[in-house]
């Protein structure tokens, strides 16, 4: 079975796509080809995972000037033609669109060529690429029931999460507390601004605490400088641009402070990690807030709204949580109940079904 997986841009699109690819390979020995764009995170993560990647040029449509949007629309037929050439060459049995730049033209080309298509949508409100092709796909895998109406033949599968998150070793009894801060695949400006302001105080208040802060490729240097100027003991914090080994980083953490992108939330559930979530307020239809509310209402996470989050408030909530191991253990157990360990397998089986290979 040959499967073409298209899309990317942020980690939120490409990381679940890699989990689907792994499952298709494990279950069916599938041959996989990824299609992405040069500026997406896929250009780093897909080759790292050992899969072939074809790059196409697709411009941006969201949060850009009218001129850029017009140019993207004018280039769209060319991108679709390029995808049709790739389809003729690779001859996939099905095409999976995971959302993001390359997803739209590749799925459009597959629909025009009569190749079965599956759309994957992790958010309650689908992104543009999936909204455009949703009613033309053969089937769709969604995470939230309200997203189903945008697609044909949608099933609620949950989000595929890399396998290691389900089997992380527990934190050793009595180990000094560790806080992982991460702002999603691109980092989060708000966390980068707030954390250095409270780091010294927080490290004083919580004995033995250490902090690992992922700031995003574009903001790592300024965040590092802010920590350096904060007076916080440099032996007890670390700043990174991007973490390649997120499973290990989750395993080492007693608490995770994060945005609430769809995969982040799914990984917190899979790993049973207690978290403090601050949703990205500009996410389409405020979907990050909905993601965070799922964990918060189950008692698996605390949620703070960015507009109300002062440095003092963040400091107080983190100090209270890190000082209460019993509470963290309870949150961890609640988080696990929200995991979907069979999401990758269900989606792989859906792909095989539409490809006529089940």
Ligand X SMILES: CC(=O)N[C@H]1[C@@H](OP(=O)(O)OP(=O)(O)OC[C@H]2O[C@@H](n3ccc(=O)[nH]c3=O)[C@H](O)[C@@H]2O)O[C@H](CO)[C@@H](O)[C@@H]1O
Q: Which residues are annotated as a binding site for UDP-N-acetyl-alpha-D-glucosamine?
A: 10-12, 123, 162, 185, 288
Q: Confirm or reject binding of residue 192 to ligand X (CB under 6 A).
A: no
Q: At what angle do helices 262-271 and 11-28 cross, to 10 degrees?
A: 60
Q: Confirm or reject binding of residue 22 to ligand X (CB under 6 A).
A: no
Residue 101 near residue 40, CB atoms below 8 Å = yes
Residue 219 near residue 187, CB atoms below 8 Å = yes
Specify the DSSP class assigned to residue 261.
Answer: -
Ranges within 292-311 binding ligand X (CB under 6 A): none
Of residues 37 and 288, the one with the C-beta less far from ligand X: 288
**Neighbour count for residue 169 (Cβ, 10 Å):** 8
Q: Confirm or reject binding of residue 261 to ligand X (CB under 6 A).
A: yes
In angstroms, rounded to a whole number, what is the distance separating the alpha carbons of residues 245 and 264? 14
Tell me the site size for ligand X, rule CB under 6 A.
Answer: 23
Q: Confirm or reject binding of residue 194 to ligand X (CB under 6 A).
A: no
Residue 322 near residue 206, CB atoms below 8 Å = yes
User: Please, what is the minimum distance in Å from the beta carbon of residue 324 to ligand X?
Assistant: 25
Q: What is the distance between the terminal CA atoms of the chain, rounded to a whole angstrom? A: 10
User: Please, what is the minimum distance in Å from the beta carbon of residue 266 to ligand X?
Assistant: 8
* Among 51, 120, 144, 242, contact with ligand X (rule: CB under 6 A): 242
Q: Interacting stretch for ligand X, rule CB under 6 A, among 77-85, 282-290, 298-306, 343-351?
A: 282-290
* Among 214, 223, 275, 332, contact with ligand X (rule: CB under 6 A): 214
In angstroms, rounded to a whole number, what is the distance separating the alpha carbons of residues 273 and 331? 7
Helix/strand/coil for 103: helix
Q: Interacting stretch for ligand X, rule CB under 6 A, among 177-185, 192-200, 269-277, 343-351?
A: 177-185
- Residue of 73, 80, 78, 77 whose CA lies nearest to 59: 73
Q: Interacting stretch for ligand X, rule CB under 6 A, among 64-72, 182-190, 297-305, 322-330?
A: 182-190
Residue 264 near residue 258, CB atoms below 8 Å = yes
Number of helices (H), then strands (E), belonging to the chain: the values are 13, 13
* Among 96, 280, 295, 354, contact with ligand X (rule: CB under 6 A): 280
Structure tokens at 228: 């350096």
Ranges within 34-73 binding ligand X (CB under 6 A): none
| Residues in contact with ligand X, shown as a per-residue x/- string from 97 to 126 under the rule CB under 6 A | -------------------------xx---
Instruction: List contacts with ligand X (CB under 6 A).
Output: 10-13, 15, 122-123, 182, 184-185, 214, 242-243, 246, 261-264, 267, 280, 283, 287-288
């Amino acid at each position: 079975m040959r499967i073409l997986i298209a899309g990317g841009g942020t980690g939120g699109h490409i990381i679940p796509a890699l989990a689907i690819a792994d499952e298709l390979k494990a279950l069916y020995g599938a041959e996989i080809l990824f299609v992405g764009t040069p500026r997406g995170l896929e250009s780093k993560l897909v080759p790292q995972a050992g899969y072939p990647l074809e790059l196409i040029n697709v411009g941006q449509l969201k949060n850009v000037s009218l001129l850029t949007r017009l140019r993207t629309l004018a280039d769209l037929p060319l991108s679709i033609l390029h995808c049709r050439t790739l389809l003729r060459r690779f001859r996939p049995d099905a095409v999976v669109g995971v959302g993001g730049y390359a997803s739209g033209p590749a799925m459009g080309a597959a629909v025009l060529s009569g190749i079965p298509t599956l759309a994957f949508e992790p958010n309650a409100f689908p992104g543009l690429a999936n909204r455009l092709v949703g009613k033309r796909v053969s089937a769709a895998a969604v995470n939230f029931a309200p997203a189903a109406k945008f697609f044909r033949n949608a099933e609620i599968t949950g989000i595929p999460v890399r396998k290691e998150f389900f089997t992380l070793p527990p934190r050793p009894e009595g180990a000094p507390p560790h806080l992982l801060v991460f702002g999603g695949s691109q980092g989060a400006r708000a966390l980068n601004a707030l954390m250095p302001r409270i780091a010294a105080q927080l490290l004083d208040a919580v004995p033995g605490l250490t902090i690992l802060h992922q700031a995003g490729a574009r903001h790592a240097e300024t965040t590092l400088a802010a920590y350096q100027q904060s007076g916080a003991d440099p032996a007890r914090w670390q700043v990174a641009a991007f973490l390649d080994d997120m499973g290990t980083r989750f395993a080492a953490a007693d608490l995770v402070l994060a945005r609430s992108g769809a995969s982040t939330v799914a990984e917190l559930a899979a790993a049973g990690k207690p978290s403090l979530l601050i949703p990205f307020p500009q996410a389409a239809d405020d979907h990050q807030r909905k993601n965070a509310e799922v964990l918060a209402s189950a008692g698996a996470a605390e949620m703070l709204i960015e507009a109300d989050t002062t440095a003092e408030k963040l400091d107080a909530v983190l100090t209270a949580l890190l000082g209460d191991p019993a509470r963290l253990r309870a949150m961890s157990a609640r988080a696990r109940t929200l995991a979907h360990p069979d999401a990758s397998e269900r989606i792989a089986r859906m792909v095989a079904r539409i490809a006529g290979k089940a």
